[in-house]
Amino acid sequence: MLRWTATVALALFAAGVAAQGLPTFPVVIRDGRIVPPRLEVPSGVKIKLTIRNEGPGPCEFENLDLRVEKVLAPGASSFVVIHPLRPGTYRFFDEFHPDTSEMLLIAK
């Protein structure tokens, strides 16, 4: 039993260390705009996007193809982890402001 417990503890520790080492990129949503509007990230590795809503109303950061969706209240922050991407361009938008908000995530 002790051996199993030690194995589980080691696996949990390794997972926590791996999550901390993810390349992380900040994203801000303000007044129906996503900043930066263009973000280059490495392809082939997991990445983490930290998202902060600085606008006066709610926002919904999403990409339909990657099945990423995050709703944030005004002043809220959160994050999404994105699986390793193939080289290419991925469009994110704020569903509450689809005409004015767009961020192109470019995996290279």
| Reported confidence tier of residue 12, pLDDT bands at 50, 70, 90 | low
Q: In what order do the strands lie in the sheet with 38-41?
A: 38-41, 103-107, 88-94, 59-63, 68-72
Q: Say which residues have a Cβ less than 8 Å from residue 56's Cβ, sequence separation at least 6.
A: 31, 74
Mean pLDDT of 59-68: 95
Residue 87 sits in a domain whose CATH number is 2.60.40.420
Against a cut of 0.85, is the pTM above it? no
Q: Does residue 89 have a pLDDT over 90?
A: yes
Mean pLDDT of 43-54: 98
What total of structural domains would you count in the chain? 1
Determine the 3-state secondary structure of 30 from DSSP.
strand
Q: What is the largest CA-CA distance in the chain?
A: 57
Look at residue 12 and tell me if it is in a domain. no
% of the chain beyond a pLDDT of 70: 81
Q: Does residue 16 have a pLDDT over 80?
A: no
User: How far is it, in rounded angstroms, from Cα 73 to Cα 11?
Assistant: 34
